[in-house]
Amino acid sequence: MARVSVAWSNLMHERTRLVVAIAGVAFAVILIFMNLGFMGALISTATNFYEQFNAELFLISPETLEISTSTAFPRERLYQVAGVDGVERIMPLYSEYLLWRNPETGVSRAIFVYGINPNDPVFLMPELQGNEARRILSRPDTTFIDRLSRPEFGPQEVGTTTEADRRRIIIGGSYALGGGFAADGTLIMSDQNFVRYLEPRPLSLVNVGLVKLNPGASPEKVASTMRSLLPADVSVYTKAGIIENDSTYWLEATSIGFIFSMGVAVSFVVGAVIVYQILFTDIRDHLPEYATMKAMGYRSQYLFKIVLQEAIFLAVLGYIPGLAAALGLYHLTAKATAGTLPVAMNGGRVMFVLILTLLMCSLSGLISVRKAVTADPAEIF
Amino acid sequence: MLKRIPLAWLNLTHDRRRFATSLAGVGFAVLLMFMFNGFMNALYDSQLQLLNRFNGEIVIVNRLRTNMFVPRAFARRRLYQARAFEGVQDAYAMYISEVNWKNPENRKSRVVRVIAINPDEPVLNIPAIASHRQALKLPETALMDTQSRAEVGPIETGVVSELADRRIRLVGTFTMGTDFASGNGNLIMSDQNFLRYFADRGPEEDKRSFATVDIGVVKLSPGTNVERMVKTLRDTLPNDVLVMARDGENGFVIRERKYWQENTNIGFVFSLLTSMGFFVGIILVYQILYTDVADHWAEYATLKAMGYKNGYLLGVVMQEALILSVLGFIPGVLVSQLLYTAAGNATGLFFQMTAERVTNLLLATFIMCLVSGAIAVRKVQTTDPADVF
CB-nearest to B21 from A34, A71, A277 is: A277
Cβ neighbours of B327 (radius 10 Å): 16
Report the distance separating Cα A255 and Cα B151, nearest Å.
13
**Cα Rg for chain B, rounded, in angstroms?**
29
Report the distance separating Cα A122 and Cα A54, nearest Å.
5
Report the distance separating Cα B353 and Cα B357, nearest Å.
6
Local structure of B33: helix, strand or coil:
helix
Over range A230-234, report the average pLDDT: 92
Over range A173-194, report the average pLDDT: 89
Lowest model confidence (mean pLDDT) among A43-57, A84-98, A260-274, B297-311: B297-311
CA distance B130 to chain A (A): 30
Using the beta-carbon criterion (under 8 Å), do A17 and B24 form an inter-chain contact?
Answer: no
Q: Which residue of B has its CA nearest to A101?
A: B64
Q: Which residue of A has its CA nearest to B29?
A: A270
Local structure of B337: helix, strand or coil:
helix
Q: How far is CA A291 from CA A45, A288, A333, A375, B18, in A?
A: 57, 5, 50, 6, 20
Q: Of all helices (H) and strands (E), which one includes residue B385?
A: helix B385-388
Using DSSP bridges, classify how beta strands A186-190 and A108-116 pair: parallel, antiparallel or unpaired.
parallel
CA distance B380 to chain A (A): 14
CB-nearest to B279 from A27, A71, A184 is: A27
Q: Write the pLDDT tens digit of every residue in B199-244.
A: 988 776 778 999 999 999 999 999 999 999 999 999 999 999 999 9
Please check the confidence at residue A4 and state whether its pLDDT lies above 70: no
Using the beta-carbon criterion (under 8 Å), do B269 and A38 form an inter-chain contact?
Answer: yes
Which residue from B340, B369, B28, B325 is spatially nearest to A266, judged by alpha carbons?
B28
- All residues of chain A having their beta carbon less than 8 Å from the beta carbon of residue B183 are 253
Report the distance separating Cα B150 and Cα B342, nearest Å.
14
Using the beta-carbon criterion (under 8 Å), do A333 and B268 form an inter-chain contact?
Answer: yes
With beta carbons less than 8 A apart as the criterion, state whether A326 and A302 touch: no
**A19–chain B Cβ distance below 8 A for any pair:** no
HSE (side-chain half, CA atoms, 13 Å) at A18:
14
Local structure of B63: helix, strand or coil:
coil
Three-state SS for chain A is CHHHHHHHHHHHCCHHHHHHHHHHHHHHHHHHHHHHHHHHHHHHHHHHHHHHECCCEEEECCCCCCHHHCCCEECHHHHHHCCCCCEEEEEEEEEEEEEEECCCCCCEEEEEEEEECCCCCCECCHHHCHHHHHHHHHCCCEEEEECCCCHHHCCCCCCCEEEECCEEEEEEEEECCCCCCCCCCEEEEEHHHHHHHCCCCCCCEECEEEEEECCCCCHHHHHHHHHHHCCCCCEEEEHHHHHHHHHHHHHHHCCHHHHHHHHHHHHHHHHHHHHHHHHHHHHHHCHHHHHHHHHHCCCHHHHHHHHHHHHHHHHHHHHHHHHHHHHHHHHHHHHHCCCCCCCCCCHHHHHHHHHHHHHHHHHHHHHHHHHHHCCCHHHHC
**B286–chain A Cβ distance below 8 A for any pair:** yes
Local structure of B70: helix, strand or coil:
coil
- A interface mutation test: which of B204, B206, B239, B350 has the most A CBs within 10 A? B204
Over range B117-138, report the average pLDDT: 95
HSE (side-chain half, CA atoms, 13 Å) at A94:
24
Lowest model confidence (mean pLDDT) among A21-25, A126-130, A256-260, B15-19: B15-19
Over range A219-235, report the average pLDDT: 93
Using the beta-carbon criterion (under 8 Å), do B29 and A108 form an inter-chain contact?
Answer: no
- All residues of chain A having their beta carbon less than 8 Å from the beta carbon of residue B184 are 253
CA distance A196 to chain B (A): 13
**A202–chain B Cβ distance below 8 A for any pair:** yes
Cβ neighbours of B309 (radius 10 Å): 11
pLDDT band at B184 (very low <50, low <70, confident <90, very high): confident
With beta carbons less than 8 A apart as the criterion, state whether A195 and A203 touch: yes
pTM of the shown model = 0.81
Using the beta-carbon criterion (under 8 Å), do A278 and B100 form an inter-chain contact?
Answer: no
CA angle, corner A111, sides to A106 and A117, nearest 5?
A: 125
Please check the confidence at residue A237 and state whether its pLDDT lies above 80: yes
To the nearest 10 degrees (0 to 180), the angle between helices B266-295 and B297-305 is 70
With beta carbons less than 8 A apart as the criterion, state whether A283 and A290 touch: yes
Which residue from A53, A38, A114 is spatially nearest to A241, judged by alpha carbons?
A53
**Cα Rg for chain A, rounded, in angstroms?**
29
CA distance B231 to chain A (A): 21
Beta strands in chain B (DSSP E): 58-62, 74-75, 88-102, 109-117, 141-145, 160-163, 166-174, 186-190, 212-213, 215-220, 241-245
CB-nearest to B287 from A109, A258, A274 is: A274
CA angle, corner B131, sides to B128 and B132, nearest 5?
A: 85
- B interface mutation test: which of A75, A108, A203, A259 has the most B CBs within 10 A? A259
**B162–chain A Cβ distance below 8 A for any pair:** no
Q: Write the pLDDT tens digit of every residue in B252-276.
A: 999 999 988 887 788 888 999 999 8
Report the distance separating Cα A327 and Cα A322, nearest Å.
9
CB-nearest to B64 from A71, A99, A270 is: A99
Q: Which amino acid, residue B307?
A: G
Which residue from B178, B180, B135 is spatially nearest to B158, judged by alpha carbons?
B135
Q: Write the pLDDT tens digit of every residue in A340-375.
A: 788 889 999 999 999 999 999 999 888 888 766 776
Cβ neighbours of B166 (radius 10 Å): 12
Please check the confidence at residue B385 and state whether its pLDDT lies above 70: no
Please provide the size of chain A in residues: 381
CB-nearest to B28 from A69, A255, A269 is: A269
Q: Write the pLDDT tens digit of every residue in A96-135.
A: 989 899 999 988 888 999 999 999 999 999 999 999 999 9
Using the beta-carbon criterion (under 8 Å), do B263 and A202 form an inter-chain contact?
Answer: no
With beta carbons less than 8 A apart as the criterion, state whether B30 and B336 touch: yes
Report the distance separating Cα B366 and Cα A26, nearest Å.
23
To the nearest 10 degrees (0 to 180), the angle between helices B16-47 and B266-295 is 170
Q: Which amino acid, residue B319?
A: Q
Using the beta-carbon criterion (under 8 Å), do B29 and A270 form an inter-chain contact?
Answer: yes
Using the beta-carbon criterion (under 8 Å), do A108 and B263 form an inter-chain contact?
Answer: no
pLDDT value of position B2: 45
- Give backbone dihedrals phi and psi of B297, rounded to 5 degrees, phi first: -50, -55
* Cis ω for the linkage preceding B203 (within 30 of 0): no
Question: Which phi-psi region, left, alpha or beta, contains residue A338 (left: φ > 0; alpha: ψ -120 to 50)?
Answer: left
pLDDT value of position A16: 76
Report the distance separating Cα A347 and Cα A54, nearest Å.
27
Please check the confidence at residue A187 and state whether its pLDDT lies above 90: yes
Report the distance separating Cα B231 and Cα B306, nearest Å.
74
pLDDT band at B149 (very low <50, low <70, confident <90, very high): confident
Q: Which amino acid, residue B383?
A: T
CB-nearest to B283 from A23, A63, A201 is: A23
CB-nearest to A337 from B35, B149, B268 is: B268
Q: How far is CA B324 from CA A230, A266, B30, B202, B330, in A?
A: 67, 21, 11, 65, 10
CA distance A255 to chain B (A): 6
CA distance A270 to chain B (A): 6
CB-nearest to A270 from B28, B288, B294 is: B28
Average pLDDT over chain B reads 89
Residues within 8 A of A (CB atoms), B 169-208 only: 180, 183-184, 203-204
Count Cβ atoms within 10 A of the Cβ of residue A60 and give its class: 0-12 exposed, 13-18 middle, 19 or more buried: buried
pLDDT value of position B307: 83
Q: Of all helices (H) and strands (E), which one includes residue B276?
A: helix B266-295
Average pLDDT over chain A reads 88
**B78–chain A Cβ distance below 8 A for any pair:** no
CA distance B109 to chain A (A): 6
- All residues of chain B having their beta carbon less than 8 Å from the beta carbon of residue A263 are 35-36, 39, 273
With beta carbons less than 8 A apart as the criterion, state whether B109 and B100 touch: yes
**B150–chain A Cβ distance below 8 A for any pair:** no
**A28–chain B Cβ distance below 8 A for any pair:** yes
pLDDT value of position A377: 66
**B64–chain A Cβ distance below 8 A for any pair:** yes
Please check the confidence at residue B386 and state whether its pLDDT lies above 80: no
* pLDDT over 70 percentage in chain A: 96
CB-nearest to A262 from B35, B203, B263 is: B35
Say how many CB pairs under 8 Å bridge A and B.
Answer: 126
CB-nearest to B66 from A109, A281, A336 is: A109
CA distance B204 to chain A (A): 5
Q: Write the pLDDT tens digit of every residue in A283-327.
A: 877 788 888 888 888 887 888 888 888 889 999 999 999 999 999
CB-nearest to B31 from A17, A266, A280 is: A266
pLDDT band at B330 (very low <50, low <70, confident <90, very high): very high
- All residues of chain B having their beta carbon less than 8 Å from the beta carbon of residue A207 are none
Please provide the size of chain B in residues: 389
Using the beta-carbon criterion (under 8 Å), do A274 and B283 form an inter-chain contact?
Answer: yes
State CA A275 to chain mean position distance. Answer: 30
- All residues of chain A having their beta carbon less than 8 Å from the beta carbon of residue B382 are none
CB-nearest to B287 from A20, A28, A30 is: A20
- B interface mutation test: which of A63, A199, A281 has the most B CBs within 10 A? A281
